[in-house]
Copies of this chain bind each other. A is one copy, B any other.
């Protein structure tokens, strides 16, 4: 998602303003990361350069629409959501003592816990500075609410670790807090920048955010590792119970009786992944995500601009493509 092809597709569908803003985003992220001393600069820059899909900024830009009057605010919002996203990744890696992310050493692995915690804090505070520069308190409020939700989602995940009896409601709540609220914020910030329909675009963002997380959790079970950059079953090894496992346990008595803590090696995790896949739970989870994306797209028919509707549909499809 947000690959050159995805951006090209969004442009064709009516988002001609997007590529220029995506370039401006990259330039601004580099400037922000490099402006706070050599040590932080090195690690903040590496974090941001490691990239990722820039899906959240893309959502901001498409939700903002093509009117140039909104571009400054949209750019600030896009930088801010990407900084918040990066900050949480850096802090998560500290807590998980993670060694690699996106195939590169994490900040905590390269520089230790102090510098990694500080790097996350810095990215966090720069996000709000960036947004505040645009002069919209409503925008700051949207981002800080999303940030608080993210933190709660992370905690919920840690609280629920190793709990096989996690319900689907609880799982969906976690997806909402941990992932979808920042997608919602990206769309709301875009709508605020472009004078669009904030509640409608926010609801769209939240729905595709949950679908995104759901498909991510499916991918962790289905693989292949070449696509995800991780072994299959890393969630299982971390004790994270996701929808595929919840659904599979309803279908397979052996999985229902599984002791998650006994799954300790990548090989054992792959075995459980195979057992989950054999129940058809992956397809069921995938169908749920597709239904959410369809529902999110249906909301867009109320938008006044068909070209914006088409562009947002493409972004929604991009979320689904992760799985294809």
A interface with B by C-beta (< 8 Å): 36-37, 39-40, 88, 91, 94-95, 113-115, 117-118, 120-122, 124-126, 128-129, 131-141, 143-145, 147-148, 151-152, 154-156, 158-159
Closest B residue to A116 by beta carbon equals: B95
Which B residues are CB-close (under 8 A) to A131?
140
Cα A115 to Cα B155 in complex, Å, equals 7
Q: Are the C-beta atoms of A155 and B125 separated by less than 8 Å?
A: no
Residue contact B128 to A140, C-beta cutoff 8 Å: yes
A129-B141, A132-B140, A159-B39 known; A151 and B121 CB under 8 Å? yes
Q: Tell me what chain A mostly uses at the interface: helix, strand, loop, or mixed.
A: helix
A125: chain B residues at CB < 8 Å are 124, 144, 147-148, 151
Query: Known interface pairs A95-B113, A141-B129. Does A122 touch B40 (Cβ–Cβ under 8 Å)?
Result: no
Pick 26 A–B contacts, CB within 8 A, sort by A: A37-B155, A40-B152, A88-B121, A91-B121, A94-B117, A95-B113, A114-B158, A115-B155, A115-B158, A118-B152, A121-B124, A121-B147, A121-B151, A125-B144, A125-B151, A126-B144, A126-B148, A128-B147, A129-B141, A129-B148, A131-B140, A132-B132, A132-B137, A132-B140, A134-B137, A140-B140
Q: How far is the CA of A95 from the CA of B95 in the complex (A)?
A: 12
> A155 → chain B, closest Cβ, in Å?
5
